[in-house]
């Protein structure tokens, strides 16, 4: 189905592709409505579309721009582990060989980026020719420039040249080495001249991103999204959004935020302020006062997530005046002890005050996010979460309370990457339901089973690639994933001719086990913002050794 171009308002001027422009496809592993609401996808598309030397077409699972007859580049933006297998469906749809090693001179270079691939690309590495690690503001233009510079060379030479660009990871130029028992020993360059490690690239400019297209067909119709902060200064020990995107960055109010907001509000009345903790922008109170002006009457403003300790009655008043119905805060746990473990610098009194200020300001709802299965968590900690929610309901009558709760999943480049998924989390989700639902508190639990699959994808190495390929067609079924994994362990799966991989380790080892310090991690050759020793120290601060296994 073609894209609804007549309903899109562009906030940038696309270039007219010149003769001989690179023919690129930028794909998203979901529907148009979901994909066009991704700020990261929008910005990458606009970056390419502004270049006259690139003719970029968009592809979603349900719609697309008119396709190229032959492509030079095929890109995928990936922000969620469970979307990874959709890549294979999109490649097949485009008649591109699934495995990178099977592509020839006439096939496009398949590249990808986004937080999932930056954190740990290894399970999907055999399907990609190139992975872009980190922020795209400088990395993406450098990638396109290098492709242009070497476009007339043979494919193998192009990939070697791309591997020299900082932040560009070419998986085929690296090989995992395993011990006889199956332990990963290293991921190393296969030839001289290839960098031994690849470092994530960090944008340090004075501006962050904002929407490049407004459309009523987005999941949030007609919204103009503005990135207020990038990363988060709190450093909760499990948090990929904080650790992977360090350092914490904030655009200036007058030169960055206000011009970005004005640009969108010239064409729409709906504004979304995005970031892991938007109210921690040092000039956020001034931004709020600016949005309180009468000229923004009728404008609807929403914020993605705020730190509970920064909620004030004034914040609630202005957001309610600008059409918001609720606030969202992350508490992680109702237990003071657990919040200390994860480095959530938040007291119960501050959570109570946030709820009170939300109601006093005129908001009708408060959404809280928490976790079960965190390292060292006991059942009493989960009971404390239920007790906190019930106390909030009693203290703020009329305020609609919602608790979204997920199972802890270890993420690469965070202090808790060595911890596993705790099986008791499944019972603890049910415990919260038993305590809260009869009391009229809405509970939105994420599936424990799918959290386990997410951990499988976030913690594995290249041995998972044949499992991903085998799960195609049934990757929306937990049973399909487990069946494919059992087949891999039985030696029944072959990734591609000439590239056998050892059988994957036991399911328990990947998903649930606590990994020892010193273990070679699948992403050890990819440098995040902080060295492993620093992450280990943060882990030790959170979990004294006697608690680490809990």
- Round to whole Å and give the CA distance between 350 and 357: 10
Give pLDDT, residue 548: 47
Average pLDDT for 115-134:
97
Quote the pLDDT of residue 536: 97
Q: Is the pLDDT of residue 495 over 90?
A: no
* Buried b / exposed e along 374-398 (16+ C-beta atoms within 10 A): bbbbeeebbbbbbebbbebbeebee
DSSP 64-101: BSPPPSS-SEEEEE---GGGTTHHHHHHHHTT--SSGG
Sign of the Cα torsion 157, 158, 160, 164 reads: positive
Model pLDDT for residues 3-29, shown as the tens digit of each residue: 888 899 999 999 999 999 999 999 999
What are the tokens at 141? 């233009």
Percentage with pLDDT > 70 across the chain:
98
pLDDT digits (tens, 9 = 90+) for 518-535: 999 999 999 999 999 999
Write down the pLDDT at residue 2: 86
Q: Are 409 and 80 in contact (CB under 8 A)?
A: no
Is 415 buried (19+), middle (13-18) or exposed (0-12) by CB count in 10 A?
buried
**C-alpha 398, offset from chain centre:** 34
Q: How confident is the model at residue 546 (pLDDT cuts 50, 70, 90)?
A: very low
Q: What is the dihedral of CA 530, 531, 536, 538, to 10 degrees?
A: -20
Hey, CA dihedral for 405, 409, 415, 419, is it positive or negative?
positive
Instruction: List the domains of the chain with CATH numbers.
Output: 5-199 (3.40.50), 222-456 (3.20.20.70)
Residue 496's pLDDT band (cuts 50, 70, 90) = low
User: What pLDDT, on the 0 to 100 scale, is given for residue 499?
Assistant: 61
Q: What's the confidence (pLDDT) of residue 65?
A: 96
- Residue 187 — φ and ψ, nearest 5°? -120, 115
Q: Report the chain's mean pLDDT, rounded to a whole number.
A: 95
Pairwise CA distance, residues 361 & 22, whole Å: 52
Residue 196 burial (CB < 10 Å; 0-12/13-18/19+)? exposed
* Per-residue pLDDT tens digits for 27-84: 999 999 999 999 999 999 999 999 999 999 999 999 999 999 999 999 998 888 999 8
Mean pLDDT over 416-420 rounds to 98
Confidence of residue 550 (pLDDT cuts 50, 70, 90): very low
The C-alpha atoms of residue 403 and residue 327 are separated, in whole angstroms, by 12
With a cut of 80, say whether residue 456 has pLDDT above it: yes
pLDDT higher than threshold 80 for residue 460: yes
43-47, 62-66, 325-329, 499-503: which has the minimum mean pLDDT? 499-503
pLDDT of residue 498: 53
d(CA 489, CA 461): 14
| Chain centroid to CA 483 | 27
188 vs 204, more confident = 188
Q: What does the pLDDT average to over 348-369?
A: 97
The Cα 229–Cα 6 span in angstroms is 32
How much is the pLDDT for 149?
A: 98
């Amino acid at each position: 189905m073609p894209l609804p171009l007549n309903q899109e308002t562009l906030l940038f001027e696309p270039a007219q592709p010149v003769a001989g422009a690179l023919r690129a496809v930028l794909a998203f592993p979901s529907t148009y409505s979901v994909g066009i609401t991704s700020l990261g996808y929008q910005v990458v598309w606009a970056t390419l579309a502004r270049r006259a030397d690139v003719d970029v077409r968009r592809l979603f699972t349900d719609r697309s721009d008119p396709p190229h007859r032959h492509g030079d580049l095929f890109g995928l933006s990936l922000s969620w582990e469970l979307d990874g297998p959709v890549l294979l469906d999109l490649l097949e749809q485009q008649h591109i060989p699934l495995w990178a090693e099977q592509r020839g001179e006439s096939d496009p270079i398949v590249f990808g980026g986004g937080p999932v691939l930056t954190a740990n690309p290894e399970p999907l590495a055999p399907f990609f020719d190139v992975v872009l690690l980190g922020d795209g503001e400088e990395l993406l233009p450098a990638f396109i420039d290098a492709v242009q510079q070497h476009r007339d060379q043979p494919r193998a030479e192009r990939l070697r040249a791309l591997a020299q660009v900082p932040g560009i990871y070419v998986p085929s130029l690296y090989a995992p080495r395993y011990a006889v028992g199956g332990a990963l020993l290293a991921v190393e360059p296969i030839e001289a001249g290839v960098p031994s490690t690849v470092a994530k690239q960090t944008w340090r400019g004075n501006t962050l991103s904002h929407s490049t297209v407004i459309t009523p067909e987005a999941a949030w119709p007609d919204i103009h999204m503005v990135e207020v902060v990038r990363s988060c200064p709190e450093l909760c020990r499990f948090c990929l959004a904080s650790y992977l995107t360090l350092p914490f960055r904030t655009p200036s109010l007058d030169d960055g935020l206000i011009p970005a907001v004005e640009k969108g509000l010239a064409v729409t009345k709906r504004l979304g302020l995005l970031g892991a903790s938007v109210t921690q922008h040092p000039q956020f109170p001034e931004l709020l006062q600016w949005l309180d002006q009468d000229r923004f009457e009728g404008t609807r403003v929403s914020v993605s997530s705020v730190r509970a300790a920064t909620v004030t009655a004034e914040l609630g008043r202005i957001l309610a005046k600008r059409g918001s119905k609720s606030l969202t805060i992350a508490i992680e746990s109702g237990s003071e002890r657990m919040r200390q473990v994860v480095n959530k610098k938040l007291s119960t009194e501050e959570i109570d005050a946030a709820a009170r200020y939300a109601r006093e300001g005129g908001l009708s709802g408060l959404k809280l996010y928490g976790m079960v299965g965190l390292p060292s968590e006991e059942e009493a900690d989960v009971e404390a979460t239920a007790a906190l929610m019930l106390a909030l309901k009693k203290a703020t009558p009329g305020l609609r309370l919602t608790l979204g709760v997920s199972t802890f999943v270890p993420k690469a480049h965070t202090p808790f990457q060595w911890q596993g998924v705790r099986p008791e989390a499944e019972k603890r989700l049910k415990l919260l339901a038993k305590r809260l639902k009869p009391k009229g508190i809405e509970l939105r639990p994420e599936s424990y089973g799918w959290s386990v699959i997410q951990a499988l994808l976030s913690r594995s190495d290249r041995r998972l690639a044949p499992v991903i390929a085998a799960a195609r067609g049934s990757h929306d079924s937990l049973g399909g994933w487990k069946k494919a994994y059992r087949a891999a362990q039985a030696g029944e799966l072959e990734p591609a001719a000439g590239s056998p991989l050892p059988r994957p380790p036991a399911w328990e080892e990947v998903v649930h086990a606590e990994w020892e310090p010193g273990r070679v991690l699948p992403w050890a050759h990819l440098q995040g913002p902080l060295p492993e020793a620093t992450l280990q120290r943060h882990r030790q601060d959170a979990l004294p050794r006697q608690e680490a296994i809990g």
